[in-house]
A and B are shown apart, each in its own frame.
Chain A
Amino acid sequence: MALNVSEVTPDLDGPAARRKPAGSRGPGARRPIGAHVFLILLILYFALPLWWLVVGSTKDISGLFTGTGGPLWFDNEFHLVDNIRQLFTQNGGLYWRWLGNSFLYAFSGGIGATVFSILAGYGFAKYRFRGRNLLFSAVLGSVMVPMTALVIPTFVLLAQMGLTNTIWAVILPSLLSPFGVYLMRVYTQDAVPDELLDAARVDGAGDLRTFFSVALPLLRPAIVTVLLLSTVATWNNYFLPLAVLSDTKLLPVTVGLGAWQAQSQSGAAGTQLWNLVVTGALISIIPLIISFLALQKYWQGGLSLGSLK
């Protein structure tokens, strides 16, 4: 029986008839008012801090503290453009440097981690080599290791490799994504049937060829998911860069904003940057939000499976 495997990423919102919602079929279906109220309250709750951030970005420092509109509404004056302009001039536009660093680390770390995870996941899933299970258990068990244990040793290691104060010291450790490996393994196990691989082998393709031309195309949803997860995780880095980065030009934006906040809080001779912290925070979350919106279909679909027809 020929198995036609099509990679279907179910459109979660589509009008596909199979996906009729369970609750609103048939006669007597009531308008779900209770559910709607519930959802609206939820939306308000989750949006609150973000709304505060948006509103705060339009205020200057005194407006943040004693503004006319209170914390949740706009002041009489609109300072968003001023704040953004100040972000360009403060410390010579250091903020944008930070943002660029975050992008660099997140993408190289993310892409690298994804590549390694794909390869490793495939290896775990489709090959039975000696020590496979032991290795995989070790990989999974590593999540239980509290990271505070590893800061100093890793720093020592990097210092010995002479990689300190370079981008590699941030990127190299981010290539490690045990969950990416787990995810890829599970997905590969199910989405790439052995029969297909055997067929390719019978046709004379080598392992690598098989991997690239047969397996890889089937893995796309998982690949995007892992990519997104790894990128987000690296973007969120804070404490390790804080502990070891001394060159302010190499900081990711999270650490940089933290530094500005500490500076403002200690009031060191009047260098208050609250407006920049708030505006900077807002701008820094925009890229991630946009990518999530743009890639909605992929990651939401990646959580389901290709269907075997």
Chain B
Amino acid sequence: MSQSLTVDLPSVTRAGHRPKRHGSMDRSRQRFGWFFVAPFVIVFLTFLVAPLIYAFWMSLHLKTLAFGERFVGFDNYLQAFRDPQFLQGVGFVVKFSLVLIPLQMLVSLTVALVLDALTDRLAKFARLMIFVPYAVPVVIGAMMWGFLYSPRFGPMSEIFGVFGLDAPLMLSPGNVFASLLNVVTWQWAGYYMIIIYAALRGIDTSIYEAARMDGANSWQVALRIKVPMISSALVLILVFALIGTLQFFTEPQILRSVAAGSIDAAFTPNIYAYTLAFSYSQFNYASAISFALGVVVFAGSYAFLFLTRKKSGLS
């Protein structure tokens, strides 16, 4: 019996699943679908599309004291992509994503695999504890970490003291990157973990039995069977994680009040847009920055999907 553990994952054809009866399906019946999507579409148009159009319109204008509001075409966008503050912010979120996402995935994947392998009470409790941070609103979580990072009131000196080290200043410019990584990981790792875990639970165990009979140990089962089987789930999670992280906003914004030097007004593009709008009253340029960020997000996610097209099962 061969030791290799290739499991074929045939692409699913839906041919057998849905009988081809398009011809006999009544067109007007199909239009009934609009009835079902209508309520959602109304809200979608009202609260997303309409504001979006207005925001775009704003980004094409500029209101200055000297000249009032005037149409400037894409000048704001040209300025945005040459604006060192915007570019620095983009650089940060890209760097942050490149570090955070693999790190988080690794942690969550490892934990999910471990939990999939154990079923004792400890595992159950762990599963819960790791997920609980998700139930904490991001804002409150950031506030808590603000306290915890405080050199005076946080336990950092105690914790580092256990290892005989001095607690570093968690929110200094040098450390703020890692500190933010920690906050985000704490908040979201459990969430990813549960999703991966549930995907793992959806795998038919008979495959494991087959593999075991072929002589595989648990590591090999984990790496060669489980992970590939949930690869499409992983890729999709990653893409959405990328989209979310490029729009990083809440945690650094909350922590600005305790790290004014390290987290400045343009720390991430979203913070920059917020500052422009609400601190500097530059609403037009703020809109342009937001859309420019949208372009970056779009490009980033498509690039990522392209690079992983084989794995995601989307092509």
* Chain A directly contacts chain B within the complex, with at least one CB pair under 8 Å: yes
Q: B-contacting residues of A (Cβ < 8 Å)?
A: 10, 12-13, 18-26, 32, 35-36, 38-40, 42-43, 45-50, 52-53, 56, 64-65, 70-72, 115-117, 119-120, 122-124, 126-130, 132, 135, 139, 142-154, 156-157, 172-173, 175-176, 178, 181, 193-195, 207, 211, 232, 235-236, 238-239, 243, 254, 257-258, 261-262, 265, 277-278, 281, 284-285, 288-289, 292-293, 296, 300, 303-305
* B202 A304 Cβ-Cβ under 8 A: yes
* B273 A32 Cβ-Cβ under 8 A: no
* A123 B126 Cβ-Cβ under 8 A: no
B148 to chain A, nearest CB (A): 6
B128 to chain A, nearest CB (A): 7
Main secondary structure of the interface of A (DSSP, over half): helix
Q: Which residues of A contact B131 (CB under 8 A)?
A: 292
B154 to chain A, nearest CB (A): 6
Nearest opposing residue in chain A for B141, CB measure: A49
Q: Which residues of A contact B195 (CB under 8 A)?
A: 303
Is B67 an interface residue, CB under 8 A from the partner? Answer: no
Give the A-B pair count, Cβ closer than 8 A: 282
- Mark B227-265 against chain A: 1 for CB-CB distance below 8 A, else 0: 000000000000010010001011001000100000000
Q: Which residues of B contact A21 (CB under 8 A)?
A: 116-119
* A238 B250 Cβ-Cβ under 8 A: yes
Is B81 an interface residue, CB under 8 A from the partner? Answer: no
* A152 B58 Cβ-Cβ under 8 A: yes
| Cβ-defined partner of B294 (8 Å) among A64, A146, A173 | A146
Is B47 an interface residue, CB under 8 A from the partner? Answer: yes
Chain A to chain B: the 4 pairs with minimum beta-carbon distance, closest first: A127-B33, A123-B36, A303-B198, A149-B290
B156 to chain A, nearest CB (A): 9
* A148 B274 Cβ-Cβ under 8 A: yes
Beyond A139-B44, A194-B17, 7 additional contacts (C-beta under 8 Å) are A18-B205, A22-B221, A23-B218, A40-B122, A148-B277, A289-B135, A292-B131
Is B280 an interface residue, CB under 8 A from the partner? Answer: no
* B273 A148 Cβ-Cβ under 8 A: yes
Q: Which residues of A contact B243 (CB under 8 A)?
A: 143-144
Nearest opposing residue in chain B for A296, CB measure: B128
**B: contact size bracket:** 35 or more
Is B160 an interface residue, CB under 8 A from the partner? Answer: no
* A146 B247 Cβ-Cβ under 8 A: yes
How many angstroms from the CA of A173 to the CA of B48 in the assembled complex? 9
* B130 A42 Cβ-Cβ under 8 A: yes
A40 to chain B, nearest CB (A): 7
Q: Which residues of B contact A232 (CB under 8 A)?
A: 134-135
* A71 B198 Cβ-Cβ under 8 A: no
Q: Which residues of B contact A146 (CB under 8 A)?
A: 247, 269-270, 273, 290-291, 293-294, 297
Name B105-133 residues within 8 Å CB distance of A: 111, 114-119, 122-126, 128-133
| Cβ-defined partner of B129 (8 Å) among A47, A122, A176 | A47
* B132 A36 Cβ-Cβ under 8 A: no
Q: Which residues of B contact A19 (CB under 8 A)?
A: 119, 201, 205
Q: Which residues of B contact A18 (CB under 8 A)?
A: 205
Is B87 an interface residue, CB under 8 A from the partner? Answer: no
Is B103 an interface residue, CB under 8 A from the partner? Answer: no
Q: Which residues of A contact B134 (CB under 8 A)?
A: 232, 292
